[in-house]
């Protein structure tokens, strides 16, 4: 899924439209947003992205529009105390640091488009002279804090492979896209694995399961969900996917189903005890879900939790190194 702020910057660069970029570069205590949060401010009052909403965002928006008029960048240092946040309920008690960059679109459409697409690892930052610069990802951790106010490494999204194109997959896939997974759906039924049921952003792989299961994983942290049309097909996919280096592998069904499949795998020496222990079945957190959308929510809630735990919260989309300004 494209980053909306970076994509808007690329669009503004192509259109020659002046915009101001606001970035939270540091936080102390509680705050409505984290380091790396971004918002793009337009002269007409539009905002893309968010720095937390409410009074905080309104204050930064006012400063951003002023910076567009003056052409002068600035830093901000705001205390979210009783006096500042009472009207909007933002009495967090924390402190938020950040930077406002007028005419950020001048870094160029190609620069921002690379960040929006996230096809490769891309390092960039804001220097102390407020210029926007590209950096070598391998060297970012060694960059001098005397040079950069803010540094960030943008990485490709985690992959989510879904075996099965039925009603559960049809609900999970678009939700997973919104949650910043790169989604691929696999099935042997062209009647289901097509654009009538899945958005364009979802990759579709259709064919015989033996060939589909032989496909290699992408070179990014990968997760898997098995929701085919029955136990036999689930076991067929699991027989191969259980050996792949997924960070998390979930399968729909009951505990009894899992025991039946695992007993067969053990008898046939298809998988080791450790490999079978990595498979989560039933998949999804317990929220008493009944409808298909509820089941999709329960599944993706677990995948979000595991992504944060196994990949690291900051590495889901970015890894930032900052100096408080």
pLDDT tens sequence across 137-148 = 555 554 445 688
254: left (phi over 0), alpha (psi -120 to 50) or beta: beta
Which residue's structure tokens are 């989560």? 280
Can you give the pLDDT at residue 316? 39
Helix (H) or strand (E) segment spanning residue 35: none
Paired with 256 in beta bridges are: none
Can you give the pLDDT at residue 112? 96
Binned at pLDDT 50, 70 and 90, residue 167 comes out as: very high
Instruction: Give the mean model confidence (pLDDT) for residues 116-121.
Output: 90
Instruction: Give the mean model confidence (pLDDT) for residues 248-273.
Output: 95
Residue 54 to residue 60: CA distance in whole angstroms: 10
Inter-CA distances, 191 with 164, 167, 198, 204, 207, Å:
12, 13, 12, 12, 12
Residue 49 has pLDDT above 90, yes or no: yes
Residue 302 has pLDDT above 80, yes or no: yes
Can you give the pLDDT at residue 7? 96
Residue 82 has pLDDT above 80, yes or no: no
Instruction: Give the mean model confidence (pLDDT) for residues 53-66.
Output: 90
Can you give the pLDDT at residue 136? 64
Task: Return the structure tokens found at 107.
Answer: 């870094």
Can you give the pLDDT at residue 78? 85
Residue 182 has pLDDT above 90, yes or no: yes
Binned at pLDDT 50, 70 and 90, residue 30 comes out as: low
Residue 255 to residue 260: CA distance in whole angstroms: 9
Quote the mean pLDDT of the chain: 88
- Percent of residues, the chain, with pLDDT higher than 70: 86
Can you give the pLDDT at residue 55? 80
Can you give the pLDDT at residue 3? 85
Residue 28 to residue 258: CA distance in whole angstroms: 46
- pLDDT tens by residue, 263-278: 999 999 999 999 999 9
Residue 11 has pLDDT above 90, yes or no: yes
Residue 222 to residue 8: CA distance in whole angstroms: 28
Task: Return the structure tokens found at 69.
Answer: 């008029």
- Say which residues have a Cβ less than 8 Å from residue 299's Cβ, sequence separation at least 6: 168, 172, 225, 250, 252, 283, 284
Can you give the pLDDT at residue 81? 61
- pLDDT tens by residue, 86-103: 444 444 557 889 999 999
Can you give the pLDDT at residue 27? 86
Least confident of 25-39, 172-186, 264-278: 25-39
Q: Count Cβ atoms within 10 A of the Cβ of residue 287 and give its class: 0-12 exposed, 13-18 middle, 19 or more buried.
A: exposed
Residue 318 has pLDDT above 60, yes or no: no
């Amino acid at each position: 899924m494209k980053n909306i702020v970076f994509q808007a910057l690329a669009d503004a660069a192509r259109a020659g439209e002046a915009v101001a970029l606001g970035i939270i570069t540091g936080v102390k205590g509680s705050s409505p947003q984290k380091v790396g949060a971004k918002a793009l401010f337009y002269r007409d009052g539009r905002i893309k992205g968010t720095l937390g909403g409410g009074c905080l965002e309104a204050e930064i928006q006012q400063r951003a529009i002023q910076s567009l008029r003056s052409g002068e960048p600035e830093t901000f240092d705001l205390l979210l105390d009783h006096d500042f946040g009472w009207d909007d309920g933002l009495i967090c008690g924390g402190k938020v640091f950040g930077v406002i960059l007028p005419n950020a679109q001048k870094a160029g459409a190609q620069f921002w488009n690379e960040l929006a697409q996230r096809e490769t690892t891309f390092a960039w930052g804001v220097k102390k002279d407020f210029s926007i610069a590209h950096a070598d990802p391998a060297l970012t951790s060694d960059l001098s804090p005397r040079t950069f106010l803010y540094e960030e490494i943008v990485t490709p999204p985690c992959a989510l492979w879904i075996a099965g194109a039925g009603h559960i997959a049809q609900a999970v896939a678009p939700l997973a896209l919104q949650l910043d997974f790169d989604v691929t759906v696999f099935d042997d039924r062209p009647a289901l694995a097509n654009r009538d049921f899945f958005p364009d952003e979802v990759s579709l792989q259709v064919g015989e399961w033996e060939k589909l299961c032989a496909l290699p994983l992408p070179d990014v942290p990968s997760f898997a969900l098995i929701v085919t049309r029955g136990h036999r097909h689930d076991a067929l996919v699991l027989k191969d996917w259980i050996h792949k280096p997924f960070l998390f592998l979930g399968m729909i069904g009951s505990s009894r189903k899992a025991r039946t499949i695992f007993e067969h795998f053990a008898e046939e020496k298809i998988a080791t005890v450790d490999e079978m222990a990595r498979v989560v079945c039933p998949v999804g957190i317990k929220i008493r879900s009944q409808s298909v959308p509820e089941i999709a929510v329960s599944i993706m809630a677990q995948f979000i939790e595991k992504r944060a735990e196994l990949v690291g919260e900051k590495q889901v989309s970015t890894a930032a190194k900052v100096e408080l300004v």
